[in-house]
Amino acid sequence: MRKTQLIFRTVLMLLIIAASSLAHAQSLFDNFEFGARGVGFKFIYKTDYTRTWKATEDINGYSQSENRGRPIRVSVWYPAKNSANAARMFYKDYMPASAKDIFFAELNGLLAKRDINNLRANLSAEDFDKLMQTRTRAVQNAAPMVGKFPLVVYSAGLNNSAQDNFVLCEYLASHGFVVVTVPQTGATSLDANLKFPSAADLETQTLDLQFAVGATHDLPDLDKQLVGAIGYSVGGMAAMNFAMRNTDIDALVTLDPTFLVANYIKFVNGSPFYAPANLCIPWLLMHRVEPQITTLTLSDELKYSRRYRVEMTGMFHQDFSSFPMFAPQSITASTRTPETAKRGYQTICRYILNFLNAFLKKDKSGFEFINDSSRKDESIAKFEVLPAIEPPTTEEKFTKILYSESVAKAIKLYRDYKTKNAQEQIFGESFLNQLGYRLISENRLNDAIEIFKLNVEAYPASGNVYDSLAEAYLKSGNKELAIKFYEKAVELAPGNKAAIELLKKLKANQ
């Protein structure tokens, strides 16, 4: 009898614990319109051998001859088959402290320690324990759903856990997206953290995101032609840099990105890949407003992108991650309550879903939602759409037309655009100058002259463009025009000694 009672009590206790865990899991997802698909999750471990993570010697001076490549842990959420018997992951399962391979076990140990310390710093002991035992929507290593789904690359906040927006990631996977991310990890094994502000560490994160895309390339459920990027906080800067250099990105989302603070814009526009013409894709910018520091300068400058700007009312910076869903009480303010924080986060997820549905899936209802600027929900979000202006022709397109058709047609393309957008700069002076000399080397002297003349038209205050045009005329045997443009070159650049000497010789031989 006693044995039967003991078994009954044990089962009852397990049911109570399970019910408590389920109730907390449900509270995380209240009012969320999750999709019909199940949510699968898995880790992919890869080594980037193009970068080193371990030093040549350890801290004691001993040589480290084992694998010193950079370990990358890729987290993947994906649409999965629904299974009534599948056990959903606990939140703690997102933070493995070990791995089968000792090389990745070291990485996991460092990240788990950091993630736990961050959570404990923001949660009471009771809330921390409750979160660790919370069931998520995801099933680890679940069977993937048959189909091809767009890829979404997510970049977390500074030294946040890789799952800092796990509710959003699970939500998107249930609606038919594959979401991948990597933790923000320091440049070496001596420190798990990135330093900020640091252009080098921002580049480290951007390269890790690129590597994650490559690591998932062969997933059978991936539509490689449809790719979006999402970035939160510092991750918003990494996502912007990533989109600027990767022409496969079709849509960009930034969540309260750090470049809304004027002092940090330089970490985006200071990148060697930065150019407004490199962002010609739709961009959803969701942010809060701190009147003393918030600036939309970068958003205004990136005018070749159709920009959807959503100002979130009564939200704090942490509320753009999954934080308000499991720790709504940790921040109190007159403008923010647990309810407004949760409601705001759900609004963020809804906007992102419709935005990605529109521009990655070409879904009609997504377009209707995201382009409806008359929506009256200003108690939560203030919404505006900034149309894109036509981007200038690219250097690649200009060069292709010049070689495949004619220099005249390429120049017409340039002038047609300038007629409509007189204030827009199309090419840099050096590009046209180098192209002109390339044509000279190919014995296309007349075409080179036309390109140099275009450069004079574009940069009339530069002495160098006149110097190049003069040189081309001299090569063609037209000394009169060579003298004319060397004189102009010297007028604009009196220190051009080579042009001065050459001009003397030409005039002496007239």
357-391 pLDDT, tens per residue? 999 999 999 999 998 866 656 667 888 899 998 88
Say yes or no to pLDDT of 187 above 90.
no
Question: In a 10 Å sphere around its CB, with 0-12 CB exposed, 13-18 middle and 19+ buried, how is residue 11 labelled?
Answer: exposed
* Strand pairing category for 283-287 and 178-181: unpaired
Say yes or no to pLDDT of 28 above 90.
no
Tell me the per-residue pLDDT of 101-122, one tens digit each, with 9 for 90 and over.
888 998 999 999 999 998 998 8
Residue type, 461: A
- The mean pLDDT of 13-37, rounded to a whole number, is 56
Residue 197 preceded by cis peptide, ω within 30: yes
Sequence ranges of the domains in the chain: 33-60+69-95+137-386, 395-508
Banded model confidence at residue 23, pLDDT cuts 50, 70, 90: very low
Domain 33-60+69-95+137-386 has CATH 3.40.50.150: no
Indicate the CATH number for domain 395-508. 1.25.40.10
Tell me the per-residue pLDDT of 295-305, one tens digit each, with 9 for 90 and over.
999 999 999 99
Tell me the per-residue pLDDT of 476-502, one tens digit each, with 9 for 90 and over.
999 999 999 999 999 999 999 998 888
Classified as helix, coil or strand, 47 is strand
Question: In a 10 Å sphere around its CB, with 0-12 CB exposed, 13-18 middle and 19+ buried, how is residue 90 labelled?
Answer: middle
- The mean pLDDT of 40-69, rounded to a whole number, is 78
Q: What is the dihedral of CA 122, 165, 242, 400, to 10 degrees?
A: -160
Phi/psi for 187 (5° steps) reads: -70, -25
Two tokens, residue 394? 């690219």
Q: Can you tell me the distance from the alpha carbon of 301 to that of 274, in angstroms, rounded to the nearest whole number?
A: 12
